Amino acid sequence: MEKSRGKKEPQKRKIDFKLLAILIAITCLLLFCIFRIIVIRSAACTYVMTDGERYETVRLYPGSVEEACSKAGFRNVEVVNRKDDDGIVYLTLKETFDVSIQTSEETLTVRTAPCTVGELLEANGISVGSDDIVTPDVDDWLSDSTQVTVTRVSYSTVTETEDVPFSVEVQYDSQMLKGQQEIARYGENGEKSLEYRVEEHDGEEVSRELVKEEEVKAPINCIVKQGIRIAQNAQEKQATSEEAKAAAASSQTLPSSQPETERESTGELSTAGRSQVWSVPAGITDDTENKIITAGDGSSYEYTAVIDVTATAYHRVEDGGEITASGTVTQYGTIAVDPRVIPLGSRLYVVSDGGDQSWSYGPGLAEDTGGLIKGTKIDLFFMTGDEADDFGIRPAKVYILKD
């Protein structure tokens, strides 16, 4: 019996996984490269730049505006206009430069493109008050190395008090003998209030304007009584002479080694060392009606009052001089007074009394005081002890000059 021949069974294909893996890897790499190319092309940017003089085109990926400007050779510029159009960026550039800004609060240096001073200050957060001073002006355009200064201006009100000097009134008394005088009332300064509008620049005062003046206390004038009655008999003449001697003796304490007779010099006043400052010819002409005196050198002065006084002298006792009661340094023309009779700061003119007009001390300033200078007594300053000794004690007239 013949065996039947059966059909041959098909063989199964073997899958090459190694080859498959290689194909997959190659496919992924190709896809990645395609994707990267697409991304790069989509992310790349073309910059078209101009500063008004030249144009440059730069294509970058990745890249910033700063990098594009640097690659194109634009330095110290800023973008003043930008326009994007399908991957193309159009840039309009302007050159920048350094500018210094100085205020009372700070000093800084900033980099900027051409603009006005006001725009620069606003961009940097610096406010300007309506009274502040800006240099250059806020509307001026900046240039390289410009220095901008902002001065802070402020105003305030300040109130001060000031003395009102009293005046000296001379009252002629027909009951008193000529040569006699007395202080009927001592003077006293008044006081006034002064209100100022003060302008300050960066905290420093630059000016002040008086806006209001008000008297707080009225001054009390000094009243000096002077006798005008002529002595009628020997007794009255003797009394007048004795009073004059007593007044002179009490006006200064004399050194025990120097008798009083030596101090009462009657010669001409020594002017050694003062020829360039206080050299004044002796004698004056007094226009009593108009209250004007004219000195021997032709200079004239208006006066408000004239007082008969006893004059003594003092001098500089150490190198550098003495400091007066007013805080000044003694010099020719410094006169010590009783401030209750003659106000400190008064301008004076001193001449001899008694009709001989043998000497003139000339113009001076009441700026000193002294423990022995009381009532109608004054002390004249000289640079040297010889001058002071030569002067001694003398009757004098003091003209209180008009301010």
Q: How many Å apart are CA 400 and CA 304, to the nearest integer?
A: 6
Determine the pLDDT at residue 384: 81
Mean pLDDT by 10 residues, the chain (403 residues): 52 64 77 60 74 82 79 79 81 84 91 87 92 94 88 96 90 84 89 97 95 95 87 69 52 35 37 46 85 88 93 75 83 91 93 76 90 92 84 91 89
CB atoms inside a 10 Å sphere around CB 63? 18
Determine the pLDDT at residue 367: 92
Output phi, psi for 376, to 5 deg: -90, 60
Q: How many Å apart are CA 105 and CA 107, to the nearest integer?
A: 7
Determine the pLDDT at residue 87: 75
Buried b (16+ CB within 10 A) or exposed e, 123-153: eeebebeeebebeeebeeebeeebebebebe
Determine the pLDDT at residue 10: 54
Determine the pLDDT at residue 345: 92
Burial classification of residue 244, based on how many CB atoms lie within 10 Å of its CB (0-12 exposed, 13-18 middle, 19 or more buried): middle
CB atoms inside a 10 Å sphere around CB 370? 16
The pTM is what? 0.56
* 8 A C-beta contact, residue 74 and residue 49: yes
Q: Which two tokens stand for residue 211?
A: 């806006």
Q: How many Å apart are CA 368 and CA 335, to the nearest integer?
A: 6
Q: How many Å apart are CA 384 and CA 315, to the nearest integer?
A: 6
* 8 A C-beta contact, residue 331 and residue 322: no
What is the SS3 assignment for 279?
coil
